[in-house]
C-alpha cells in the first residue's frame, strides 16, 4: 500500500470512528436512568407543560428520527440548552474548553521537555546511579494518580509554604475579559496555572522519559554513533546532534496520543484545583443531571482523542520513511 | 529466556513438568532484580492485609463471606467525641470528621483495591488476549472488524467514559469494574495481535497445521503459550491502570458508597473540607494507592525484561 492509499484509508477510518463514537454517545445518554423524559423535565410542571416540553425536545419522536436529529445537531455544533445555566451549551463549553487547553498544553509541554531531557541523559549514562535512580523516580511518578500528585503539591506549596493560591484560575475580583493575552498572560493567572500544570507535567512525565531512554539505547547501539565518536566529535555533540535527535521520532507519535489521554486527566486535575475547565464542568454536569452539557463535554473530549490518534498515525508515517503501511 | 531451557517457541507440545519448569523460570527473573523484589514484597503485604482486614462481609453478586480482622475498629464505627483527632495511641492514624478510625478504613480499603485490580485486570486481559489472538490468527475480515472496534475503543476517553457509565448504571463496584474493563482490553488486544502475527509465520504453526490440528487447538495450545508472557506483562499494567481508574473515579465521588476505597477516603476529606488540616486522613490513602500501583509497575518492569530481552541492555 502506498502512502496515499494509507492516508485515504486512515481518513475513512476517522469518519467511521467518529460515527461510532457519537452513536455510542447517543445510546449512552438515552440509557440514562428512569424514564427518559423525567430528567429532561423540571419539577413543578403541569402535565400540559410537560407534554409541550417533550415535544419541544423531540422526545416523542421515534428513536431513528431522534437519532437523525441528534446527528444534525452535532454536525451544526448545536448541543442544546444547559439545564443548570440556562444558556446554550456551546457558549459555556467554548470558554471551558479554552481553559482546559491552556492548562493541559502547558502541562504537556513541561512533561515532554523534562521527559525528553531526562530520558536522553538516562540513556546516555546507562547503568549509572543516575539512570537507576531516574527509573525509580519515573516509575513513582507514573504510579501516582493525578489527584494524588495534586494533593501533595497543594499541601506543600499552598498549605505549608503558602506560595501559591489554592484554587481557581484567577483571584476573585480580578479583571475578566480582554484579549487572549490579557486573559491568559497575566501574572495572577500564571500563579494559578503553575500548580495544576505541574501536576499534569508530573503525571505525564513517565511516558516520554522511559520511551526516550529506550530509543536512546537503541540508537546508541547503532554503528553511526560509533563512527561519530571515532571521528573525534566531542561527546556533547554526539549526544545532542546525533543520538538524541534520532531518538525523538517515536516521541512525536506518543505525544499526540498523550494529548488525547490528557483530556481524561483534566477531569481530575481540574477538580482538585477548582480549575474552571471542561473536565470539572463535566463532573458537575453529570452530578447535576445536566445531560446536554455533560454530553457536549464528553463529545469534545472524545473528539480530541480521536483527532490526536489520527494525527499520531499520520505523523508516524510522514516522519519515518521506513515504516510500512501495515 | 535462558539457554538451558528448551525454547518454548519451537516446542509443539509442553508436558506438565516443562510447564512447571517454565513457571519456575518465570519467577527466576526476579532474582537479582531489586525493584522486582521490592514490588513483590509490597504486593504480598497488601494482599495479606486485604485478606485479613476485618470481619467484614463482602457481598459480590450472591455470595457473602467473612474473615477475621486486622483492623482495630469497624471502619464505619463512630467514636463519639473523637472527631478529626490527630494520631494518638487509640487511633494510630487519627480519626475522620465523623469520628471514624482512619487506620481501619485504610485496611478495609485495601480489599476494594485488590478486588478491582485483580478482577478488572483479569477480565480486560482475557478479552484483549482473545481478541488479539482471533484477530491475528484468522486475518481477513475478522481482523478488520475486530481491529476497527479496537480503534473505536481507542477513541473513547477512559475516565470521562467511566464517569458517564457509572452515572448511568449506578455507583457499584461491579459497574466500576465493567466500565474499566470495557476500555482497558484495547491495549492488550493490539499488542497480542502483533505478537501472534509474527508467530503465525513460524514453522511450528505450519507443522501443526500439516498434522491436521484444528484452529482452536493451534490458537490455544500452540500459539497462546508463546504469547502468555506478554499477556502477564499487560495484566500487570492493567492492574495498575484499573486501580488508578478506580481511585480517580472514587475521588470524583462516583465510588461504591457501600465499599469504602482509598480514593473514596480522599473524596471524603475533600467534601469534609478537611484537606488543609487533616494530613493524617489525606496522606495514608494516597500513599497506599501510590505504593500499590508502584509495586505492580516494578513487577511489570521485571516481567518486561523477560518478554523483551533487548530492554535488558547488559
A304-309 average pLDDT score = 88
A188-204 average pLDDT score = 85
A129-157 average pLDDT score = 86
CATH of B32-311, one of 3.40.50.720, 1.10.3720.10, 1.20.1440.230, 1.10.10.60: 1.10.3720.10
| Rounded CA separation A170/A172 (Å) | 6
- Which ipTM was obtained for this model? 0.83
Asked if B121 and B115 count as a contact pair (C-beta separation under 8 A), the reply is no
Q: What is the pLDDT of residue A58?
A: 63
CA distance A202 to chain B (A): 14
Q: At what angle do helices B140-154 and A291-319 cross, to 10 degrees?
A: 120
| Rounded CA separation B296/A206 (Å) | 15
SS3 category, A239:
helix
Residue B56 main-chain phi, psi, to 5 deg: -125, 120
Residue with cell 525528553: A116
Q: In this complex, is the C-beta atom of A285 within 8 Å of any C-beta atom belonging to chain B?
A: no
| Rounded CA separation A49/A40 (Å) | 12
Residues of chain B under the 50 pLDDT cut: 1-13, 312-314
Q: Measured between CB atoms, which of A17, A139, A264 is closest to B157?
A: A264
pLDDT digits (tens, 9 = 90+) for A89-141: 888 888 888 888 888 989 999 999 999 888 888 888 887 888 888 888 888 88
Cα-Cα-Cα-Cα torsion A266, A267, A269, A270, nearest 10 degrees, comes to 100
The more confident residue out of A286 and A168 is: A286
pLDDT at A30 over 80: no
Q: What is the pLDDT of residue B90?
A: 66
Q: What is the pLDDT of residue B16?
A: 65
A75-88 average pLDDT score = 77
Mutate to test the interface with B, among A100, A165, A211, A267 (most CBs of B within 10 A): A267
**Which residues in chain B have their CB less than 8 angstroms from residue A140's CB?**
290, 294
**Which residues in chain B have their CB less than 8 angstroms from residue A152's CB?**
286
Mutate to test the interface with A, among B157, B249, B253, B271 (most CBs of A within 10 A): B157
Amino acid at each position: 500500500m502506498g502512502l496515499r492509499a494509507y492516508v485515504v484509508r486512515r481518513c475513512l477510518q476517522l469518519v467511521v470512528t467518529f460515527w461510532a463514537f457519537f452513536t455510542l454517545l447517543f445510546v449512552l445518554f438515552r440509557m440514562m436512568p428512569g424514564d427518559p423524559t423525567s430528567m429532561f423535565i423540571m419539577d413543578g410542571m403541569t402535565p400540559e407543560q410537560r407534554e409541550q416540553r417533550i415535544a419541544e425536545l423531540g422526545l416523542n419522536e421515534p428513536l431513528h428520527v431522534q437519532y437523525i436529529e441528534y446527528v444534525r445537531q452535532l454536525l451544526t455544533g448545536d448541543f442544546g440548552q444547559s439545564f443548570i445555566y440556562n444558556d446554550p451549551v456551546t457558549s459555556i463549553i467554548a470558554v471551558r474548553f479554552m481553559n482546559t487547553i491552556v492548562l493541559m498544553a502547558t502541562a504537556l509541554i513541561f512533561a515532554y521537555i523534562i521527559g525528553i531531557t531526562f530520558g536522553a541523559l538516562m540513556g546516555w549514562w546507562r547503568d549509572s546511579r543516575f539512570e537507576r535512580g531516574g527509573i525509580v523516580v519515573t516509575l513513582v511518578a507514573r504510579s501516582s494518580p493525578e489527584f494524588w500528585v495534586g494533593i501533595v503539591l497543594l499541601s506543600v506549596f499552598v498549605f505549608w509554604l503558602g506560595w501559591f493560591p489554592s484554587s481557581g484560575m484567577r483571584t476573585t475580583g480580578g479583571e475578566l475579559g480582554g484579549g487572549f493575552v490579557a486573559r491568559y498572560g497575566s501574572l495572577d493567572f500564571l500563579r494559578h496555572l503553575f500548580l495544576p500544570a505541574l501536576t499534569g507535567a508530573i503525571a505525564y512525565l513517565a511516558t516520554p522519559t522511559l520511551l526516550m531512554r529506550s530509543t536512546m539505547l537503541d540508537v546508541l547501539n547503532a554503528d553511526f554513533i560509533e563512527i561519530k565518536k571515532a571521528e573525534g566529535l566531542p561527546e556533547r555533540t554526539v549526544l545532542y546532534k546525533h543520538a538524541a535527535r534520532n531518538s525523538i521520532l517515536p516521541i512525536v507519535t506518543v505525544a499526540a496520543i498523550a494529548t488525547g489521554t490528557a483530556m481524561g486527566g483534566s477531569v481530575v486535575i481540574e477538580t482538585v484545583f477548582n480549575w474552571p475547565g471542561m473536565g470539572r464542568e463535566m463532573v458537575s454536569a453529570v452530578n447535576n443531571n445536566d445531560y446536554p452539557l455533560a454530553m457536549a463535554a464528553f463529545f469534545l473530549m472524545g473528539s480530541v482523542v480521536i483527532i490526536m490518534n489520527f494525527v499520531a498515525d499520520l505523523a508516524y508515517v510522514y516522519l519515518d520513511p521506513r515504516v510500512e503501511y501495515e | 529466556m535462558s539457554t538451558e531451557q528448551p525454547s518454548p517457541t519451537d516446542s509443539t507440545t509442553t508436558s506438565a513438568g516443562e510447564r512447571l519448569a517454565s513457571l519456575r523460570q518465570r519467577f527466576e527473573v526476579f532474582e537479582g532484580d531489586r525493584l522486582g523484589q521490592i514490588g513483590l514484597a509490597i504486593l504480598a503485604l497488601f494482599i495479606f492485609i486485604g485478606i485479613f482486614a476485618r470481619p467484614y462481609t463482602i457481598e459480590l453478586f450472591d455470595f457473602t463471606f467473612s474473615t477475621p480482622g486486622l483492623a482495630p475498629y469497624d471502619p464505619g464505627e463512630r467514636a463519639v467525641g473523637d472527631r478529626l483527632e490527630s494520631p494518638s495511641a487509640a487511633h494510630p492514624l487519627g480519626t475522620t470528621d465523623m469520628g471514624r478510625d482512619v487506620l481501619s478504613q485504610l485496611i478495609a480499603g485495601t480489599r476494594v483495591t485488590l478486588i478491582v485490580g485483580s478482577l478488572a485486570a483479569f477480565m480486560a486481559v482475557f478479552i484483549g488476549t482473545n481478541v488479539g489472538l482471533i484477530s491475528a490468527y484468522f486475518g481477513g475480515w475478522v481482523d478488520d472488524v475486530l481491529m476497527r472496534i479496537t480503534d473505536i475503543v481507542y477513541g473513547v476517553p477512559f475516565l470521562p467514559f467511566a464517569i458517564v457509565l457509572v452515572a448511568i448504571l449506578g455507583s457499584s463496584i461491579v459497574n466500576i469494574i465493567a466500565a474499566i474493563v470495557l476500555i482497558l482490553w484495547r491495549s492488550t488486544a493490539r499488542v497480542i495481535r502483533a505478537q501472534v502475527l509474527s508467530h503465525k509465520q513460524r514453522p511450528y504453526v505450519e507443522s501443526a497445521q500439516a498434522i491436521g490440528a484444528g484452529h482452536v487447538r493451534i490458537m490455544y495450545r500452540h500459539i497462546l503459550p508463546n504469547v502468555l508472557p506478554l499477556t502477564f506483562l499487560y495484566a500487570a499494567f492493567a492492574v495498575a491502570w484499573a486501580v488508578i481508574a478506580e481511585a480517580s473515579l472514587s475521588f470524583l465521588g462516583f465510588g461504591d458508597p457501600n465499599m469504602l476505597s482509598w480514593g473514596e477516603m480522599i473524596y471524603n476529606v475533600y467534601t469534609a473540607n478537611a484537606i488543609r488540616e487533616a494530613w493524617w486522613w489525606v496522606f495514608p490513602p494516597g500513599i497506599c494507592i501510590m505504593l500499590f500501583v508502584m509495586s505492580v509497575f516494578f513487577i511489570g518492569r521485571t516481567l518486561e525484561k523477560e518478554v523483551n530481552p533487548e530492554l535488558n541492555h547488559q
